[in-house]
Chains A and B, each alone.
Chain A
Amino acid sequence: MITELGHFALVLAFLIACLQSVVPLVGAHRRWPGWMAFAEPAANMQFLLTGLSFAALTYAFVTSDFSLKLVVLNSHSAKPLLYKVTGVWGNHEGSMLLWVLIVTLFGAFAAWFGGNLPPTLKARVLAVQGMIGVAFFAFILFTSNPFLRMAVPPFDGQDLNPLLQDPGLAFHPPFLYLGYVGLSMTFSFAIAALIEGRIDAAWGRWVRPYTLAAWVFLTIGIGLGSWWAYYELGWGGFWFWDPVENASFMPWLIAAALLHSAIVVEKRESMKSWTILLAIIAFGFSMIGAFITRSGVLTSVHAFATDPERGMFLLLITAVFMLGGLTLFAARANVMQAKGVFSLVSRESALLVNNLLLGVAAFVVFVGTIWPLVSEMFFDRKLSVGAPFFNMAFTPFMVVLGLVLPLGAMLPWKRGNLSRVATSLRYAFVLALAVGALAWAMQSGRSALGPVGLFLGAWLVSGAAVDLWSRTGRSGSRLARLGRLPRADWGKAVAHAGLGVTMAGVAGLMAWETEDIRVLQVGESLELSGYELTLLDVREIDGPNYDSTQGVVSLAQDGQEIATLYPEKRFYPVAKMPTTEAAIDIGFWRDVYVVVGDPQDNGGWAVRTYYKPLANWIWGGSILMALGGALSLSDRRYRVAAGARKTRPASEVPAE
């Protein structure tokens, strides 16, 4: 009964979305207030109904209603409650429902907090958001309905893929979707502004919070996914350049470019057409991501739902929105006259360089991701594009980005003086050089990767600190003024420093990781980068829905025991699938990572141990980046949108 109600609510939401995508649009065109006002209750209703539908599906999962096909395929009565809930989106149909729930959530958000938007723009934004809703409701109802029943309900379910039964992965999809779908909001704003024929500083200010929020969510989502891969897949890889990872990484790069170019629109009324184009492309990449993940055209580690029909449907949605958006863009190019003027050396130019680097980097990832498909279809060459290509083709852009970032971030608007900026950054640069040189001197290998990464990290972090300090003025209580700086300034510094920390972490881990693979008898020890690991015991353990072989490994340094680690090898009998649970001794400077493998013929166990320097810096940096975005998002001018207009934050006054 509840299932049918959920199904019915979904159909109703679809119908409301259809109305919402037409009525307010006509209203805005004809200036009919009643028709325009229709958008707001419609958006609320849509969200409410989709929420009901999602709740109904969650209820079916929690109560293990095995008359529902989706529950049978993805759940089991013995599964812990947390994973019964997260199992709702651990599959194609449920995750699409979550996706569309977030589409309607953002729509409702614009209805709630869009009070200061001109009524025509608001109506149009909600109408476009409604169209996106229509497309995805149709996709769910016609190709991926989660509410299908079983004719003969089985006694128990087939369990969720054990790899997904993990806290890291449980919350990775919701954050990613919040990010992907957040970009649908910027798309809606871009299209609405094009229809409206007005793109000005105010538009830049309205659209930036959504971009920023989407980017923060994507950062968290990608970080969680990468952290999960690190500890769950059993060899501590954190990024595989897998098509599905790239599918989330491309929108992240474009969103990063977009949130910077939107600043130029907001503060200087320039780069408008480029920003609109980026907003369209960013959402395009989100949908291409959905297509890549769900169509199976590109073989990948975590593609689920590989159905050509669904693939075609998603491709069609993507094509319609992209072609529509780009056509409108071309037709309205004349309304986007740049207003602000600036010289070659200025913040504006620096942000343009940022956009160029991020845009081309995203393009490289895109070409690399689809190249196997293109090559096979048009050149009849079956080939692979993997990590070695991306490491080589993508990294240079990030190195250049890291090099110019601190300089660009300190350039004033309109007209800057490069040598003055360079002077204020000289100590930061010397410090970074010293860090890089130290790393070079201490390392045993010849690779430049580690020292360059540490140099960039130190350069970005100290550059961000100098930037922040320089905003406190010349004299007086600078420290007190530091605390009173606008949150946007703090956000910028924290996010840029976070990028540096992540860069240092990636480079350090890739350059200086050591590994040991060997057979250990119980009681035997091994040496790894100054640590002594002893296999004390191997025992059998019963989990709630799995059996586990658990190793007990003591970790000692200089004869002092510092930790006992419990690596596990689990077996999920229902899904007939083994998983590896690595045991990690987490530290600030390094992780020690232990995996227990198969029993050997002579009674020993295959044991792999890894020494992973700076591993946590990768995710620490991601957290800092997300925190920076959140700080920026909480800036006064977004919180009190109306009041902030009178008292402009200090950061808007171009520093001389």
Chain B
Amino acid sequence: MRRAGLKRALRALALSLVLGMALLVQMSGEARAVQPDEVLDDPALEERARDISAGLRCLVCRNESIDDSNAELARDLRLLVRERLVAGDSDEEVVEFVVDRYGEYVLLQPRVTGSNLVLWLAGPVMLLLGGAIGWSYLRRRGRASETPANALSEEEAERLREIMKE
């Protein structure tokens, strides 16, 4: 059941990829990204636009932000972002505006809500878990050291084994 699901997902993704590639073949490798005519006159506003752009995904590309991408759609989005900024929107409002139209798929940094908590907490939880296991292991090794004679003989035995093997 799950396998069939995976296979279907694989197939759908492969298909969308082929379509995406067809779009991409003509574009990739050519650095166009932000064009001179897009750049805003106000450097502060332009910097905000660049920051926002770096966090938005180019929808027809493979894992590129609209800031890096040279696709037409990315250019449209970059212009849209700048338009909203010039109109006086805050950074959050601009992002909200884009997400409303294209879905959370455009966000390169997933929001910390719902199931995404798993993604965000995976690292810290694993660190705590691994830390706890490591700590208890260290405690055990530490307590074993109450018989120091053992350690020495063990090391000698190992050396002996190595010498014997020659």
A-side interface residues toward B, CB under 8 Å? 116, 118, 162-163, 200-202, 232-235, 237, 240-243, 269-270, 295-297, 299-301, 303, 306-308, 311-312, 338-344, 348-349, 352-353, 356, 359-361, 363-364, 367-368, 371, 373, 375-379, 381-389, 392-393, 397, 414-415, 517-519, 569, 576-580, 582, 595, 597-598, 600, 606, 608, 642, 645-646
Contact = CB atoms under 8 A, between A and B. Distances in A.
A163 B107 CA distance: 28
A562 B7 CA distance: 57
B14 A385 contact: no
For the complex of A and B, 7 pairs with smallest distance between CB atoms: A234-B31, A386-B108, A388-B109, A341-B145, A364-B123, A308-B10, A379-B115
Interface in B1-53: 5-7, 9-11, 13-14, 16-18, 20, 25-26, 28-37, 39
Residue among B11, B20, B119 having the largest count of chain A Cβ atoms under 10 Å: B119
11 contacts: A237-B68, A303-B62, A340-B151, A342-B142, A360-B123, A364-B123, A373-B9, A381-B115, A387-B54, A608-B31, A645-B165
A118 B64 CA distance: 51
A235 B64 contact: no
A40 B110 CA distance: 52
A343 B145 contact: yes
A393 B148 CA distance: 42
Contact of B36 (A341, A375, A376, A519): A519
Nearest to A348: B141
B65 A389 contact: no
Contact of B10 (A301, A311, A519): A311
Contacts of A116: 165
A595 B137 CA distance: 55
Contact of A385 (B25, B110, B159): B110
A138 to B, nearest CB: 20
B91 interface: no
Contact of A364 (B28, B122, B142, B165): B122
B35 A606 contact: yes
B154 interface: yes
A191 to B, nearest CB: 22
Given A237-B68, A349-B138, A606-B35, A388 B108 contact: yes
Given A296-B13, A363-B123, A517-B39, A646 B163 contact: yes
Contact of A598 (B26, B32, B150): B32
B162 interface: yes
A578 B70 CA distance: 12
Nearest to B127: A360
B162 A384 contact: no
Contacts of A296: 10, 13-14, 17
B122 A382 contact: no
A580 B13 contact: no
Given A306-B17, A306-B18, A353-B134, 8 more contacts: A301-B28, A301-B63, A303-B62, A363-B126, A375-B116, A385-B109, A387-B65, A645-B159
Interface in B77-116: 103-110, 114-116
Given A299-B62, A360-B127, A387-B65, A312 B31 contact: no
Interface of B: 5-7, 9-11, 13-14, 16-18, 20, 25-26, 28-37, 39, 54-55, 57, 62-65, 68, 103-110, 114-116, 118-120, 122-123, 126-127, 130-131, 134, 137-139, 141-142, 144-145, 147-148, 150-151, 154-155, 158-159, 161-163, 165-166
Residue among A237, A241, A381, A576 having the largest count of chain B Cβ atoms under 10 Å: A381
Nearest to A393: B123
B29 A577 contact: yes
A379 B138 contact: no
B41 to A, nearest CB: 12
Contacts of B110: 371, 383-385, 389
Contact of B13 (A299, A578, A597): A299
A296 B108 CA distance: 19
B154 A339 contact: yes
A364 B166 CA distance: 44
Nearest to A415: B145
Contact of A343 (B9, B18, B120, B142): B142
B105 A384 contact: yes
B144 to A, nearest CB: 4
A577 B54 CA distance: 26
Given A343-B142, A360-B130, A352 B137 contact: yes
B141 A270 contact: yes
Contacts of B6: 377
B64 A301 contact: yes
Contacts of A388: 54-55, 108-109
Contacts of A306: 14, 17-18
A514 to B, nearest CB: 11
A600 B106 CA distance: 30
Given A341-B150, A384-B57, A299 B17 contact: yes
B138 A300 contact: no
Nearest to B137: A352
B18 to A, nearest CB: 7
Contacts of B104: 381-383
Given A200-B158, A377-B5, A517-B34, A384 B108 contact: yes
Nearest to B70: A234
B11 A308 contact: yes
Nearest to A365: B123
Contacts of B34: 517
A381 B55 CA distance: 18
B161 A312 contact: no
A353 B109 CA distance: 28
Contacts of A342: 141-142, 145
A21 B134 CA distance: 36
